[in-house]
Structure 1
């Protein structure tokens, strides 16, 4: 809906269509994209990291993040980018324009977590921790970041006991999406009132994670604004036009 609406708005001859790609056919799919001379495409879970070996070139930021969500075809060469992190930062600016000075924790250590961590760190956030089931995966993110930023790694149990330390909590895992929409990674009994709690999932619009946070006094937001913003940056990569998505997209 977002991209087809934008193609129409700017008078571009293009069409955006979803494809369900299985792990075992990823290589053939990318080869087909080249053969069909597809101008560009997005990549979502679970292929953001798997796709990298099949691309001809990777943007420096995407290389550092280790995940790709946007690909552009330049004269037969497939170039990978990542707009997730910058899309999230733009959405966070709308929710809290003083986020740089806030105490933030990211839940998860996958491709989305890496993109958000790198982008927040680059924006100047000073207190940026990571909570994950596996500490080693969180440490990989910290060690991969080239700038000096102090980050603590927490288990989910440790996070539950220290929620009152944080102003912003960001959930980046797929827990909360179908078929795990009945699950929430943590409990919020120790949450401070008016903490901003964000779940980057947008379907369902309000996950169990967000419902539980709101019941304990949090301000909540889902991943829809991030979706619009990362799409705007992807659209710019493909077309050279940065669209206005501040009021949402209408067909």
Structure 2
């Protein structure tokens, strides 16, 4: 990569960021297209988030991705937030247009593109999402638009009922589950919790109740024990790598107004995971 006096900077604000695969994905796309951009990870402590956002303007950066734990907190430092991100209450992409910062959320659309790419239909199906955090909000916003029904479960009852209440203002097919009595009653099950990141984490659903007619998705982009065990039961499975890819594709387009080479980005992700 050739850094010049005209190079536009993009990057990732998070805490931590050491694990990120995004620089490999975006820089491979910039290089392939010959765009004078680069993507860098920035370790931003929560206490420094406001200063970090100010630096986007001060350094004339093209924009950034935003990850844990800043997706909600960043909103108060932006000039504008688009309708989708405003409803979700979280931003994962910031675009700098002549010093005016606008927040977007590409996570939900990225997940839907991943489902589509894998030939997993949502329309007419019963869907269960486990977790009521920011990822669940982003996914639920789009899933509820197409699914026959969307059930959401979380052990945090306040978060659960707040999310279901918010979605119910725009959809009529969303319900809260305080416990999952019958996971076999859903066509698609989506894990939107961190369970599975660490070895020994409990399963978010009762694997023994699953059947080969079901699809199990995990928003975690590495292969988790949930997916391995679901596959052993004959279920169709999908990890979160496709969501990571497609949310990145959409962010790339927002920064550059150019369609990126998806296959190049996908290959870079696979290489970075080795």
- Which sections of structure 1, spanning at least 5 residues, go unmatched? none
Cα distance in 1 for residues equivalent to 2:175 and 2:263: 34
Cα distance in 2 for residues equivalent to 1:26 and 1:173: 24
1:142, distance to aligned residue in structure 2 (A): 2.3
1:246, distance to aligned residue in structure 2 (A): 5.3
1:37, distance to aligned residue in structure 2 (A): 1.4
1:223, distance to aligned residue in structure 2 (A): 0.5
1:53 to 65, 70, 76: 76
Cα distance in 1 for residues equivalent to 2:261 and 2:165: 36
Cα distance in 2 for residues equivalent to 1:18 and 1:175: 25
1:51-87 CA-partner distances (Å, limit 9, x unpaired): 1111111011100110000000011111100000000
Could you state the TM-score of these two structures normalised by the residue count of structure 1? 0.90
1:148, distance to aligned residue in structure 2 (A): 2.9
Residue 249 of structure 1 is matched in structure 2 by 266
Q: 1:166 to 1:247 in 2, by over 3 A?
A: farther
**Structure that is richer in strand per residue:** 2
Give RMSD over aligned pairs: 1.7
Does 2:200 match 1:182?
A: yes
Cα distance in 2 for residues equivalent to 1:98 and 1:120: 10
Could you state the TM-score of these two structures normalised by the residue count of structure 2? 0.83
Does 2:248 match 1:231?
A: yes
Structure 1 residues 187-202: aligned runs within 5 Å: 187-202=206-221
1:22 to 45, 48, 58: 45
Cα distance in 2 for residues equivalent to 1:33 and 1:250: 29
1:186, distance to aligned residue in structure 2 (A): 2.9
- Which sections of structure 2, spanning at least 5 residues, go unmatched? 1-23, 269-274
Where do 4+ consecutive residues of structure 1 move more than 6 Å?
Answer: none
Report SS of the residue matched to 2:190: strand
Structure 1 residues 85-100: aligned runs within 5 Å: 85-100=108-123
Residue 159 of structure 2 is matched in structure 1 by 137
